[in-house]
Amino acid sequence: MSDICVEITGLKKSFGPLEVLKNIDLQVNRGDVVCIIGPSGSGKSTLLRCVNLLEEPNGGKVVVNGVELTDPDVDIDLARTKIGMVFQSFNLFSHLNVLNNLTVAQRKVLKRDEREAQEIGLRNLERVGLSEKANSMPAQLSGGQQQRVAIARALSMDPEVMLFDEPTSALDPELVGDVLGVMRQLADEGMTMLVVTHEMQFAREVADKVIFMDGGYIVEAGPADEVIGNPQEERTKSFLSRVL
Ligand code: ADP
Ligand code: MG
């Protein structure tokens, strides 16, 4: 397989008359962590959602793992199984215990049998440091623990790339570190990750590339030390001065 995991070219997305993504080109190499930063409403979530076609682009191409998702003939459900997504709101199934949260899609989508799905689920719970919570209900867990379960659930599908949309924004400050710690560990293990975040410290330390978005465009992109440490564009400087 090629070294490119996600390739986006000329991506456009509108909601009615509102042009949200104007012309996005983005390449994510296998094993890289790309952090997307930018003001609210700049199109960050829409971009992420176009990567797995939760939003259907109005123009341009999205290729993930060599499969063009924007090709109308593609099996989008199959392609999506290789793309993990973690949202700001954890979206666990509240009526299922933790382990069943981790096994349901494995069984229904990947057709794994119960025993295999449980083994894989338990392995991924261990990865996020929550082995002892397998039988807990989501409501019994802290927000940080619920988010780590959501990450374990995504990992249980053996994704080739993980998309994170502000995974720590809904958490109490003291719980943010545990979730970022898990993400850092995934990055160290070589997971390809696209992360929308306001955690500038995380972006600086973990990202191979940082993208600053504003008004539906990528305004500035490059190594974290350049984009965050020494931004060239006025809009980037102004955004960073407000969040740092
Ligand atoms: P960000 O994640 O950077 O805050 P979003 O991608 O969520 O930005 O939103 C970008 C713009 O698109 C905003 O103006 C938002 O209101 C609009 N938008 C997002 N999703 C929809 C939708 N489903 N329908 C209409 N407008 C939307
Ligand atoms: Mg958003």
Q: 41-83 pLDDT, tens per residue?
A: 999 999 999 999 999 999 999 999 999 999 999 999 999 999 9
Q: Rounded CA gap, 228 and 233, in Å?
A: 11
Q: CA–CA distance from 20 to each of 14, 62, 152, 238 (Å)?
A: 5, 16, 31, 21
Query: In a 3-state reduction of DSSP, which class is residue 80?
Result: helix
Q: How far apart are CA 166 and CA 2, in angstroms?
A: 28
Nearest to 25 by CA among 217, 192, 209: 217
* Percentage of the chain exceeding pLDDT 70: 100
Q: How far is the CA of 166 from the centre of ligand 1 (A)?
A: 14
Using CB atoms within 10 Å of the CB of residue 183, give its burial: 0 to 12 exposed, 13 to 18 middle, 19+ buried: buried
40 Cα nearest atom in ligand 1: 4
Q: Which amino acid is at 142?
A: S
State in Å: Cα 132 to ligand 1 middle. Answer: 38
pLDDT in tens, 151-169: 999 999 999 999 999 999 9
- Helices of type H across 92-163: 98-108, 114-127, 143-155
What pLDDT was estimated at residue 1?
Answer: 56
pTM of the model as a whole: 0.97
How far apart CA 106 and CA 120 sit, in angstroms, is: 9
pLDDT at 156: 98
Name the residue at shortest CA distance from atom 13 of ligand 1: 41
Give the residue ranges of the chain where pLDDT is below 70. Answer: 1
Whether residue 134 contacts residue 122, with contact meaning beta carbons closer than 8 Å, is answered with: yes
Q: What tokens appear for 221 in the block?
A: 């992109």
20, 40, 88, 169: residue to mutate for ligand 1 pocket, most atoms within 8 A of CB: 20
The ligand with the least distance to the CA atom of 42 is 1
- At 185, give phi and psi (nearest 5°): -65, -40
**Residue to mutate, 15, 36, 243, ligand 1, most ligand atoms under 8 Å from C-beta:** 15
Residue having the nearest C-alpha atom to atom 5 of ligand 1: 43
Give the atom of ligand 1 at the shortest distance from the alpha carbon of 196: 2
CB 215 within 8 A of CB 194: no
CA of 91 to the centre of ligand 2 (A): 16
Q: Are 135 and 98 in contact (CB under 8 A)?
A: yes
Mutate to test the pocket of ligand 1, among 11, 19, 46 (most ligand atoms within 8 A of CB): 46
Q: Is the ipTM of this complex over 0.85?
A: yes
In the reported structure, the alpha carbon of residue 142 is separated from the centroid of ligand 2 by a whole-number distance in angstroms of 22
State both tokens at 141: 């867990």
87 CA distance to ligand 2 centroid (A)?
Answer: 9
Query: What confidence score (pLDDT) does residue 244 get?
Result: 84
Contact present, 195 and 184 (Cβ < 8 Å): no
Integer angstrom CA distances of residue 60 from 22, 71, 196: 10, 10, 21
Ligand 1 atom nearest the C-alpha of 46 is: 6
| Ligand 1 site residues, Cβ closer than 6 angstroms | 15, 18, 20, 38, 40-46
